[in-house]
């Protein structure tokens, strides 16, 4: 105890212990988040069209072994970057072709976003506020359901949340004269992953949030400090190679991905899901019940003065406002787009609810948890749309060599549930001038075929080619046709109807049947 050097070590030791305890708390928060969100991820079938589409692309990647180029029906599918497909294909290779593996990317991202907001609030606003923020976030229906949905929205939301939290952490540490560049480097890495998750918004949203936040704090020097060359180099090293390779292999890729899929969707009309400007504020409020009711407690006299004095609160408002306004500008709106706004909203609700009695908080949390579980259970009991039963019937009867044809629709989840190792042939009038006039599955496949015309011509066929392919089959072929067009194909009158789906039927076509052969014109 008389060692004069010992007291000098105490502050460093105490700081190290505090840092270690904080890291353990963050890891525990992420583990709890994942377990809670994943517990019911297996209950319901894949939802159409989005979950079926993206899980199907990942399955094609796994089946083909071509991990660089995402494909839909064997054709390059460049609507989104590959990070979701890489994670999902890897999950299915490890855990099998099951729903929760198809949703693992979203589950991991939701846990990442929860851990990011928890870590930031824990460091700068205290442990109690961090725990309450985590509780609110994990029992908000939008975050809970988004975590169990197999698409890119939660993946990019998790990356955006991690990027903003790390950038803010770096800025606050720089303000206090603490080491900050390691956090900044990690922020650039997560921004790059966000770009690989869903495109430019993975970097644009965090940049806008930080610009608005630091502008309100009048910290312009911090803005310049965050533009750090080593961080930019890390961002380029992670994000750019895939895009460069796709442009090299498929000339016109960058125009399609950036101009058509980014700027046109943002600035122009004509895409699906057109909604009014106020859609997201209303939807975000409704899907944050019952927690959002407590937010009104905060909006009292003097609150905004307090916000101006507390950087974390100011960050949360800037974060929430930027995301909601940004995604409210385009006409095309999907509820999943606004997921990056949920973590800051949870923190703002937690700040207001911190003044509420513990018994009321527990009651609100219980009601919110029941609401989350009830929604998932309800959808599992009455699926919105699925071809799972039809796909299982196909898988039970079909031999791997027997071809599969889709007529008048693309049944996105059928390759997943039927375990197809080769993409089906899709029958439609692909020469129709209306093909590219609607934002639908036909447009998706036609766009994909434009990158590989020869492969496209063999996968996307017309009625004449359908008859020729059926006649060329060794014996059995399988046709899934919508009820709307089935009467246009006389041979289906003599085929065996195996299973009914959503306004569609699975048919077994035996070319050895004289009636079928005559209807097809087989020789």
Percent pLDDT > 70 in the chain is 95
**Does position 113 have pLDDT exceeding 90, yes or no?**
yes
The continuous run of DSSP H or E covering 276 comes out as: none
User: Tens of pLDDT along 270-305?
Assistant: 556 778 889 999 999 999 989 988 888 877 778 888
Percent pLDDT > 90 in the chain is 80
DSSP 239-272: HHHHHHHHHHHSTTHHIIIIIIIIIIHHH---SS
DSSP code, position 274: B
Strands 404-407 and 460-461, bridge-based pairing: unpaired
User: Tens of pLDDT along 6-15?
Assistant: 334 445 566 6
Closest CA to 139 of 380, 342, 348, 382: 342
Beta bridge partners of 510: 476
5 confidence band (pLDDT: 50, 70, 90) = very low
3-class SS at 361? helix
| 486, 435 Cβ separation under 8 angstroms | no
| 158, 56 Cβ separation under 8 angstroms | no
Q: Which pLDDT score is estimated for 266? A: 62
CA dihedral 337, 343, 349, 350 (to 10 degrees): 170
3-class SS at 196? helix
Q: How far apart are CA 343 and CA 137, in angstroms?
A: 6
Q: Which pLDDT score is estimated for 2? A: 39
pTM across the whole model? 0.94
Q: How far apart are CA 388 and CA 241, in angstroms?
A: 37
3 confidence band (pLDDT: 50, 70, 90) = very low
Q: Long-range contacts of range 228-234, CB-CB < 8 Å, 24 or more positions apart?
A: 228/181, 228/184, 228/185, 228/188, 230/181, 230/185, 231/184, 231/185, 231/187, 231/188, 232/188, 234/185, 234/188, 234/189, 234/192
Higher pLDDT, 203 or 267: 203
Mind spelling out the 3-state secondary structure of 296-333? HHCCCCCHHHHHHHCHHHHHHHHHHHHHHHHHHCCCEC
Strands 504-510 and 476-482, bridge-based pairing: antiparallel
Number of H helices, E strands in the chain: 25, 8
Whether a cis peptide bond, with omega within 30° of 0, leads into 290 is yes
**Which residues 6+ apart lie within 8 Å of 188 measured at CB?**
228, 231, 232, 234, 235
Give the CA angle between residues 343, 345, 347 to the nearest 5°: 75
Backbone angle region of 98, left / alpha / beta, with phi > 0 → left and psi within -120 to 50 → alpha: beta
Q: Which pLDDT score is estimated for 9? A: 40
Closest CA to 491 of 471, 519, 456, 461: 519
Whether a cis peptide bond, with omega within 30° of 0, leads into 49 is yes
User: Tens of pLDDT along 397-446?
Assistant: 999 999 999 999 999 999 999 999 999 999 999 988 777 667 789 999 99
DSSP 68-130: SS-EETTEE--SS-SHHHHHHHHHHHHH-S-HHHHTHHHHHHHHHHHHHHHHHHHHHH-HHHH
Sheet of strand 425-427: strand arrangement? 460-461, 425-427, 404-407, 476-482, 504-510, 496-500
| 152, 88 Cβ separation under 8 angstroms | no
DSSP 471-517: HHSSSEEEEEEETTTGGG-GGGGTSEEEEE-SSEEEEEEETTSHHHH
User: Tens of pLDDT along 13-41?
Assistant: 666 667 778 889 999 999 999 999 999 99
User: Tens of pLDDT along 180-194?
Assistant: 999 999 999 999 999
Arithmetic mean of pLDDT, 71-97 = 97
User: Tens of pLDDT along 333-370?
Assistant: 889 999 999 999 999 999 999 888 888 989 999 999 99
| Stretch among 151-160, 254-263, 309-318 having the lowest mean pLDDT | 254-263
Q: Which pLDDT score is estimated for 433? A: 79
Q: Which pLDDT score is estimated for 267? A: 62
User: Tens of pLDDT along 299-340?
Assistant: 777 888 888 899 999 999 999 999 999 999 988 888 999 999
**Does position 371 have pLDDT exceeding 90, yes or no?**
yes
**Which residues 6+ apart lie within 8 Å of 110 measured at CB?**
33, 34, 37, 143, 146, 147, 154, 157, 158
**Does position 146 have pLDDT exceeding 50, yes or no?**
yes
Arithmetic mean of pLDDT, 479-502 = 93
Closest CA to 420 of 143, 74, 20, 18: 74
Q: How far apart are CA 83 and CA 78, in angstroms?
A: 12
| 478, 398 Cβ separation under 8 angstroms | yes
Arithmetic mean of pLDDT, 42-54 = 94
Q: How far apart are CA 145 and CA 152, in angstroms?
A: 14
Q: For the chain, how many residues are written?
A: 523
| 91, 128 Cβ separation under 8 angstroms | no
Mean pLDDT rounded to a whole number for the chain: 92
Burial of 393 (0-12, 13-18, 19+ CB in 10 A): buried
């Amino acid at each position: 105890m008389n060692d004069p050097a010992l007291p000098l070590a105490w502050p460093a030791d105490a700081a190290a212990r505090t840092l270690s305890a904080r890291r353990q708390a963050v890891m525990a928060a992420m583990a709890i988040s994942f377990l809670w969100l994943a517990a019911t991820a297996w209950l319901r079938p894949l939802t159409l069209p989005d979950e079926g589409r993206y899980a199907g692309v990942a399955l094609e990647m796994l089946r083909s072994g071509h991990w660089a180029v995402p494909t839909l029906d064997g054709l390059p599918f460049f609507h989104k970057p590959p990070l979701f497909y890489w994670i999902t294909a890897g999950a299915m290779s490890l855990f099998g072709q099951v729903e929760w593996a198809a949703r693992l990317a979203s589950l991991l991202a939701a846990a990442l976003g929860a851990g990011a907001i928890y870590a930031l609030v824990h460091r700068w606003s205290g442990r109690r506020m961090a725990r309450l923020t985590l509780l609110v976030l994990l029992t908000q229906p939008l975050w809970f359901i988004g975590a169990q949905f197999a698409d890119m929205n939660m993946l990019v939301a998790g990356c955006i949340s991690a990027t903003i939290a790390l950038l803010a952490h770096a800025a606050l540490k720089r303000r206090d004269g603490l080491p900050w560049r390691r956090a900044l480097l990690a922020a650039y890495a997560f921004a790059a992953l966000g770009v690989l998750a869903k495109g430019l918004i993975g970097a644009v949203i965090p940049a806008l949030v930080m610009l608005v936040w630091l502008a309100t704090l009048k910290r312009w020097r911090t803005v310049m400090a965050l533009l750090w060359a080593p961080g930019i180099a890390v961002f380029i090293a992670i994000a750019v190679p895939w895009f460069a390779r796709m442009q090299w292999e498929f000339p016109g890729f960058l125009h399609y991905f950036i101009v058509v899929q980014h700027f046109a969707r943002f600035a122009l009309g004509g895409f699906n899901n057109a909604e009014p400007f106020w859609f997201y504020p209303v939807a975000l409020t409704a899907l944050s019940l019952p927690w959002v009711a407590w937010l009104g407690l905060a909006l009292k006299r003097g609150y905004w003065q307090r916000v101006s004095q507390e950087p974390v609160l100011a960050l949360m408002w800037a974060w929430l406002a930027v995301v909601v306004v940004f995604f409210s500008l385009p006409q095309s709106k999907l509820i999943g787009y606004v997921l990056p706004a949920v973590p800051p909203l949870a923190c703002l609700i937690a700040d207001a609810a911190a003044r509420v009695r513990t018994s009321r908080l527990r009651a609100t949390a219980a009601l919110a948890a029941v609401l989350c579980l009830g929604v998932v259970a309800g959808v599992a009991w009455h699926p919105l749309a699925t071809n799972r039963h039809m796909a299982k019937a196909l898988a039970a009867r079909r031999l791997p060599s027997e071809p599969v044809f889709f007529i008048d629709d693309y049944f996105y989840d059928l390759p997943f549930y039927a375990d197809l190792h080769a993409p089906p042939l899709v029958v439609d009038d692909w020469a129709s001038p209306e093909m590219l006039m609607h934002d639908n599955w036909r447009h998706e496949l036609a766009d994909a075929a434009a990158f590989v015309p020869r492969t496209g011509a063999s996968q996307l066929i017309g009625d004449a080619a359908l008859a020729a392919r059926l006649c060329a089959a060794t014996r059995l072929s399988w046709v899934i046709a919508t009820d709307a067009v089935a009467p246009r194909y006389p041979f289906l009158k003599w085929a065996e109807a195996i299973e009914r789906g959503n306004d569609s039927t699975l048919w077994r076509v035996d070319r050895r049947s004289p009636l079928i052969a005559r209807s097809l014109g087989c020789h």
